[in-house]
Structure 1
Amino acid sequence: KIAEGTSPPPINVLKSCEKCVQHIADVKVLGNDKVYRHNEAKALVWLEKKVSAVSGVLKARDITVGASCKSSALVRSKKDSRPTEQDYVATAYSIVADYILPELSAQLKSSLKLDLKTERIVEKTPEAPPAKKLKGADSVQPVEDYSKGILKNVKGAATPKLTAGQKKLQKVDKTGMKSISSFFAKKGS
């Protein structure tokens, strides 16, 4: 058991997972030392096994994957939309790929033959209404003019009533007064 905040020396970690490292690396014994070299072929075989294990768990727990998991709120068609084995593998690959380097992920994808389009084409359901096409879809002009409802200074329009203080301010002689913005203007040198 490792105490929180401390970590074992790397050599102890390597000794404890020596059998696991052999799945992805070549091991050579040189004198008293063991030397490890990453082997891509071994790593890909090991990752393929992990993808198939994750795929098996997804299938065993009946987790929705593929095109059928896009939205559970949509009305499903009467046709059976069971996920295929390829859907489970693609989902398992995406889970495993989150934890490995992008280069290795690309190699794993090609070795699993997922380069082909993994999503199935879902046929349109008869319940779905066809999309409406607007008249004159070529033009970009608005259909209605929304500015017609806005009244511009029309005589007879109600002017807001002024308070007593606002009326006094309008009557004040403003000669010799500066606007407030003049105090913030740049001064000439």
Structure 2
Amino acid sequence: MGATAVGSGSYIDARIVGDALDIQQKVIHGFNSSSDARLALLRGDIFGMWSSLTSAMKGVRNAQEKIVLQLGPHRHPSMPAIPATGEILDSLGGGTDGAKLVDIWHALNEVGRVIVAPPDVDESKLAFLRQVVESSVNDEEFVQLAAESRRDLAFLPSHELQQLVESFAALETDLRFELLSLARSE
């Protein structure tokens, strides 16, 4: 399985899902970019790689790549024939430490990027900042521009993000350390 750097999303995806599904694999990391990993895939140097949907679609449209598995609790509506990691783990009974790690990884991937403020920011300023961000990502012109650029917008309201942070903090200590260790080299 190809990946860019140790700790990158493609590396962690491969490690977490590989461990949870007991995939016998070696994660080859060190590609300068996902484009370099993709070239290695096309040459047959690696048998797979994790990628964002938007990055993979060019190869799919050109019949150079096939999507085998999608990372998420459920199938994306645009790919109903391709299984999702969550449903596979559920079919295997779920509940394992590996399945729990994949669940939290799904949630963290749902978030994507976050905007942070200093810990001592005044609550009224924090509420204002959250409202500005929410208004911006729901702005019709912004949504239209994202659609024209073929960029998915998936805004997670601050209260849902807070729940996610709390669920990660509530993870058993050994699972939290396991998740962090999967971001390191094998």
TM-score w.r.t. the length of structure 1 is 0.21
Name which structure has the greater RCO, CA cutoff 8 Å, separation 6+.
2
Instruction: Name the structure where helix makes up a greater proportion of residues.
Output: 2
Q: Which has the higher strand share?
A: 1
What's the TM-score, normalizing by structure 2?
0.21
